[in-house]
Amino acid sequence: MSSSRRVLFAAALIGACAVGAPAPAQDGKVARSFGAGDGVSAVGVLDAPPDTEIEGPQAIASGDNGEIYLLDQVNSRVVAFEPGKPEGLTRSLSLPEGVQPTDMVVTGGRIYVWDGKPIRLNESGEGATRSLSLGPRASDDVDDVTRSMFGQMGSEVIEGEAEPGLTRAIGRPRAGAGPARVSGKQMVASKGKGPVSASVIVDKTEKAATMTVATRDGARLGALTLRVRDRIGTAELLDIDKQGRFFVLAENISAAGGANSFVARFTPAGALEGVFELPLNPEVALSRRFVTVNPEGDVFFMRTRKGVVDVIGVGFTAMAKGQVVDLGPPPVAAVAPADPRKTPVSAVRPLTREQVIRTALAFADVRWRVTPTAYGGDPDLSCNGFNARVRRPSFMIGKTNQEVKGIPYCWGCMGSLNQIAGRINAGTKAGNVCTRNDPTRDVAGVDCSAFVSATWGLSTHFTTLAIPSITVPVTNPWDMKPGDALNKPGSHVMLFTGFTPDRKIEVIEASPGACAGKVCRNVYTLASLLARGYTARRYRALVDEVAMATPAPRPARQRPARDQN
């Protein structure tokens, strides 16, 4: 085991018996590798120019039969394969027209996707190429457990939902610095025990968490305790396999910004058996749901890099009772040097955190009508590169003369909310997700860094490479406050709004993939961002309030464009 990677992790059942002797770690093996493309052995991967993330599949899931599914939203499909057959057939399942998902759950032999709400899809056809269709009650026929599983990985709360706890209540950041100690409750459709609930409590040291797992009728299945060297990030139940073993996704995050993500495996009696360390690093692109467990207890990690997506069977490190496992010190991401040509530009007036969040929410929540001029003409295949990708953001496709939510993503574009609304009203096209050509000036919207610049009241577009020149590092990521940013120089930036009850982070971002081509609210695990090279930054001109007294309310409805016909 490498001495350059040290994380102390200890776990035990409350009053548990001894576990077996430690065994050497096994190297993770690639179960299937996909190149970039739209063929049977490829998935959609769009390489990133400056100030964009690589865009690839947003979710991985295992079916009840062990088949692995990838949400290949770039190609508007789901791909499926059997991991035990590296050269085996890959199935392609086309998404229904008009469905533009950003997340996926597979359970009970059904595929569910998230497109502003959970949707059940029906598979039809035979052979390697099949179709997914919407049933008559596709949006309604989703049970509470599936809704909770979407919320677990950050899918937005459904507007008007009777029980908002089933999907995450985005837009309600916790006041003050740091996450809550009580992490809350989740539901999982496990492969070995059916629907179960998991409640997590983090102790006052924030180094240890206790998870209680029970059946839906309340019968207790196990009590699991895990402890990390520095501070626990998320701790959530991923699955229970057919042998009754528990799999818990957990994080260790240091005050210096280093982070590790791993999956801990417990016996049916609740004793720790060992851990699977997830191979996250700055070369791995951002994705919403990057790990899954199959019915046999194998852990698979989706690794998206430049031009390739690998599905990796993660290596397992066995442990003995009470053993401190050394996985190496959490790597601290290097920060690119600031652009010397850029100098700080202050906001017109002193800027408070509440003003920053209000502005960000206005970009994410604004509702507007897609006029024919904003939509643009068809065919819209002006983007050179992979699969003749269209300029138009996916959330707008087929929405002419309909109301949509969120300011569109536009690579290289910038402006305040009023400026963008004025341009769209004047007949400018809306949105440009093509990042293969030079930025265009005849389209309105914002890219990731232009959005963050606008929330900070800046009239200049500071790129992700330039943001370090107008910010200071937040050395301890647990000290982030609403209005700070998570920045990966040369790649992507997102605005931090608060910690969730289950110790993840809520952000608002402009993204062609994670947001379907607009500004939206999302949730990520903190360690998965830090390990990928993101660093916490604080804008120098921001009034550093101790905390927002109350969560920022949603802005009033605005309409940046109206149908002129």
| pLDDT confidence bin for 176, thresholds 50/70/90 | low
Instruction: Note whether 384 and 475 are same-domain residues.
Output: yes
- Check: CB of residue 129 under 8 Å from CB of residue 92: yes
| pLDDT confidence bin for 553, thresholds 50/70/90 | very low
Whether the predicted pLDDT of 476 surpasses 90: yes
Q: What tokens were used for 396?
A: 């707008």
Q: Whole-model pTM? A: 0.85
Whether the predicted pLDDT of 18 surpasses 50: no
Instruction: Note whether 448 and 510 are same-domain residues.
Output: yes
Q: What tokens were used for 267?
A: 């016996």
Instruction: Note whether 312 and 357 are same-domain residues.
Output: no
Strands 29-36 and 308-313 come out as antiparallel
Whether the predicted pLDDT of 552 surpasses 50: no
Instruction: Note whether 290 and 412 are same-domain residues.
Output: no
Q: Give the per-residue pLDDT at 73.
A: 92
Q: What tokens were used for 555?
A: 């802005």
Segment 269-298 mean pLDDT: 92
159: domain CATH number is: 2.120.10
> 358: phi > 0 → left, psi -120 to 50 → alpha, else beta; which?
alpha
Instruction: Note whether 89 and 139 are same-domain residues.
Output: yes
Is residue 563 assigned to a domain? no
What are the tens digits of pLDDT across the range 206-243? 888 889 999 988 899 999 988 888 888 888 999 999 99
Instruction: Note whether 291 and 362 are same-domain residues.
Output: no
Instruction: Note whether 57 and 112 are same-domain residues.
Output: yes
Is residue 343 assigned to a domain? no
Each residue of 397-418: b (16+ CB within 10 Å) or e?
A: bebeeeebbbbbbbbbbbbbbe
Segment 29-53 mean pLDDT: 86
Q: What tokens were used for 106?
A: 């597979």
CA atoms within 13 A of residue 58's CA, in its CB half-sphere = 27
Q: Give the per-residue pLDDT at 360.
A: 96
Instruction: Note whether 78 and 154 are same-domain residues.
Output: yes
Q: Give the per-residue pLDDT at 183.
A: 59
> Domain count of the chain?
2
Name, of 39-43, 67-71, 343-347, 502-506, the range with top average pLDDT. 67-71
Q: Give the per-residue pLDDT at 323.
A: 55
Instruction: Note whether 120 and 165 are same-domain residues.
Output: yes
Q: Give the per-residue pLDDT at 395.
A: 93
Of 273, 304, 320, which marks where a domain is finished? Answer: 320
Q: Give the per-residue pLDDT at 475.
A: 92
Is residue 284 assigned to a domain? yes
How far is the C-alpha of 312 from the C-alpha of 309, rounded, in Å? 10
How far is the C-alpha of 375 from the C-alpha of 400, rounded, in Å? 6
Is residue 177 assigned to a domain? no
| Window from 335-339, 362-366, 472-476, 541-545 with minimum mean pLDDT | 335-339
The number of beta carbons lying within 10 Å of the beta carbon of residue 73 is: 27
How far is the C-alpha of 121 from the C-alpha of 141, rounded, in Å? 10
What are the tens digits of pLDDT across the range 367-415? 999 999 999 988 777 776 655 568 899 999 999 999 999 999 999 999 9
- Check: CB of residue 294 under 8 Å from CB of residue 250: no
Whether the predicted pLDDT of 26 surpasses 50: no
Q: Give the per-residue pLDDT at 22.
A: 33
Is residue 20 assigned to a domain? yes
- Check: CB of residue 422 under 8 Å from CB of residue 415: no
How far is the C-alpha of 98 from the C-alpha of 395, rounded, in Å? 9
Q: Enter the DSSP assignment of 46.
A: B
Q: What does the longest C-alpha to C-alpha distance in the chain come to?
A: 74
How far is the C-alpha of 58 from the C-alpha of 118, rounded, in Å? 15
Instruction: Give every CB contact of residue 502 below 8 A, 6+ residues apart in sequence.
Output: 152, 183, 184, 186, 200, 234, 236
| pLDDT confidence bin for 80, thresholds 50/70/90 | very high
Whether the predicted pLDDT of 549 surpasses 70: no
Using alpha carbons, select from 53, 29, 104, 186 the residue that is nearest to residue 512: 53
E strands in 14-140? 29-36, 42-43, 60-62, 68-72, 77-81, 91-94, 103-107, 110-114, 118-124, 129-134
How far is the C-alpha of 261 from the C-alpha of 280, rounded, in Å? 8
Name, of 173-187, 329-343, 406-420, 531-545, the range with top average pLDDT. 406-420
Q: Give the per-residue pLDDT at 535.
A: 96
- Check: CB of residue 100 under 8 Å from CB of residue 328: no
Instruction: Note whether 256 and 392 are same-domain residues.
Output: no
Is residue 78 assigned to a domain? yes
Segment 420-449 mean pLDDT: 90
Whether the predicted pLDDT of 437 surpasses 50: yes
Report which secondary-structure segment, H or E, holds 249: strand 246-253
Beta bridge partners, 262, equal 250, 277
Instruction: Note whether 386 and 271 are same-domain residues.
Output: no
Looking at per-residue pLDDT, the higher value among 368 and 330 belongs to 368
Is residue 499 assigned to a domain? yes
Q: Give the per-residue pLDDT at 124.
A: 86
The alpha carbon of 170 is separated from its chain's Cα centroid by a whole number of angstroms, namely: 13
Is residue 325 assigned to a domain? no
Q: Give the per-residue pLDDT at 386.
A: 58
pLDDT above 90: percentage of residues in the chain: 49
Beta bridge partners, 511, equal 518
> 560: phi > 0 → left, psi -120 to 50 → alpha, else beta; which?
alpha
Residue 244's domain comprises 8-170+182-320
What are the tens digits of pLDDT across the range 85-142? 766 788 999 999 889 899 999 998 899 999 888 899 998 888 788 889 887 676 667 8
Q: Exposed, middle or buried, 87 (CB in 10 Å: 0-12/13-18/19+)? A: exposed
Distances (CA, A) of 171 to 364, 523, 539, 554: 10, 10, 21, 8
Q: Give the per-residue pLDDT at 488.
A: 95
Segment 167-188 mean pLDDT: 63
Instruction: Note whether 438 and 517 are same-domain residues.
Output: yes
The number of beta carbons lying within 10 Å of the beta carbon of residue 182 is: 13
367: domain CATH number is: 3.90.1720.10
